[in-house]
A and B are shown apart, each in its own frame.
Chain A
Amino acid sequence: MTQSELAPLAQGAPDASGSAPPPKKTSLKTTHRKASGVKAPWWFALPALVVFTLIVVIPSLRGSFYAFTDWDGLSPNFEFIGFGNFSRVFQDSAAGESIANTAMYAIGITVVQNFVGLLLALGVNSAIRSRNWLRVLFFAPAIVTPLIVANLWQYILAPQGALNTALRAVRLDFLAQDWLGNANLALPAIISVVVWQFAGYSMVIFLAGLQSIPEEIYEAASLDGAGSYKTFINITRPLLAPAMTINLMLSLIGGLKLFDQVLIMTQGGPGSASESLSTIAYKDAFQFQLFGYSTALTLVLTIFVAVASITQFVLLRRGENK
Chain B
Amino acid sequence: MKRYTLKTGILEVVMVLVALLFAAPIYVLINTALKSGGVTTSLAPVTNPSLDNFVTAWINGGLGAALLNNVIITVISVVLIVVISASAAYPLTRITRRWSKLAFGFFMTGLLIPSLLALIPLYTTFRDLQLIGSVWGLILIYVGSQMPFSIFLYVQFLRTMPMDFEEAATIDGASPFRAFWQVVFPLLRPITGTVVILNTITVWNDFFTPLLYLSGSGTNTIPIAIYSFTGQYVNQWGVIFAALIIGVIPLLIFYFLLQRSIIKGFAGGLKG
In the complex with contacts A11-B269, A30-B163, A55-B141, A18-B204 CB distance below 8 A: no
Measured between C-beta atoms, what is the minimum distance from B244 to chain A in Å? 5
**Cα A301 to Cα B268 with chains together (Å):** 26
Q: Are B269 and A19 in contact (CB under 8 A)?
A: yes
Q: Are A16 and B268 in contact (CB under 8 A)?
A: yes
Q: Are A56 and B144 in contact (CB under 8 A)?
A: yes
Query: Per-position contact with B for A19-43: 1 when CB-CB < 8 Å, else 0?
Result: 1111110011011100111111110
Q: Are B180 and A40 in contact (CB under 8 A)?
A: yes
Measured between C-beta atoms, what is the minimum distance from A203 to chain B in Å? 10
Q: Are B2 and A126 in contact (CB under 8 A)?
A: yes
CB-CB < 8 A to A148: which residues of B? 223, 226, 244, 247-248
CB-CB < 8 A to A11: which residues of B? 152-153, 156, 194, 268-269
Q: Are A20 and B124 in contact (CB under 8 A)?
A: no
Measured between C-beta atoms, what is the minimum distance from A271 to chain B in Å? 21
**Cα A115 to Cα B121 with chains together (Å):** 38
Q: Are B144 and A51 in contact (CB under 8 A)?
A: yes
Give residues 14-30 of B contacting A (CB, 8 Å).
Answer: 14-16, 18-19, 22-23, 25, 28-29
Nearest A-chain residue to B157, judged by Cβ: A18
B186 in the interface (beta carbon within 8 A): no
Measured between C-beta atoms, what is the minimum distance from A72 to chain B in Å? 11
Q: Are A52 and B147 in contact (CB under 8 A)?
A: yes
**Contact with A155, one of B16, B103, B123, B237 (Cβ below 8 angstroms):** B237
CB-CB < 8 A to A44: which residues of B? 87-88, 90-91, 180
**Contact with A147, one of B193, B227, B268 (Cβ below 8 angstroms):** B227
B58 in the interface (beta carbon within 8 A): no
Classify chain B's interface size: 35 or more
B-side binding surface: helix, strand, loop or mixed?
helix
Query: Per-position contact with B for A35-78: 1 when CB-CB < 8 Å, else 0?
Result: 11111111011011101101111011011101000000100000
- Mark A residues whose CB is within 8 Å of B: 1-2, 4-5, 7-13, 15-24, 27-28, 30-32, 35-42, 44-45, 47-49, 51-52, 54-57, 59-60, 62-64, 66, 73, 120, 123-124, 126-130, 134-140, 142-148, 151-153, 155-156, 160-162, 165-166, 169, 196, 201, 204-205, 207-209, 211-212, 242-243, 246, 256-257, 259-260, 264, 278, 281-282, 285-286, 291, 294-295, 298-299, 301-302, 305-306, 309-310
Of the A-B pairs whose beta carbons lie under 8 Å apart in the complex, a sample of 12, sorted by A's number, is: A11-B194, A15-B270, A18-B153, A18-B156, A27-B161, A41-B91, A56-B147, A59-B118, A60-B113, A143-B205, A147-B207, A152-B244
- Mark B residues whose CB is within 8 Å of A: 1-4, 8, 11-12, 14-16, 18-19, 22-23, 25, 28-29, 32, 41-43, 84-85, 87-88, 90-96, 100, 103, 106-107, 110-125, 140-141, 143-145, 147-153, 156-157, 159-163, 166-167, 170-171, 176-177, 179-180, 190-191, 193-194, 198, 201-202, 204-208, 212, 222-223, 226-227, 230, 237, 240-241, 244, 247-248, 251-252, 254-256, 259, 262-272
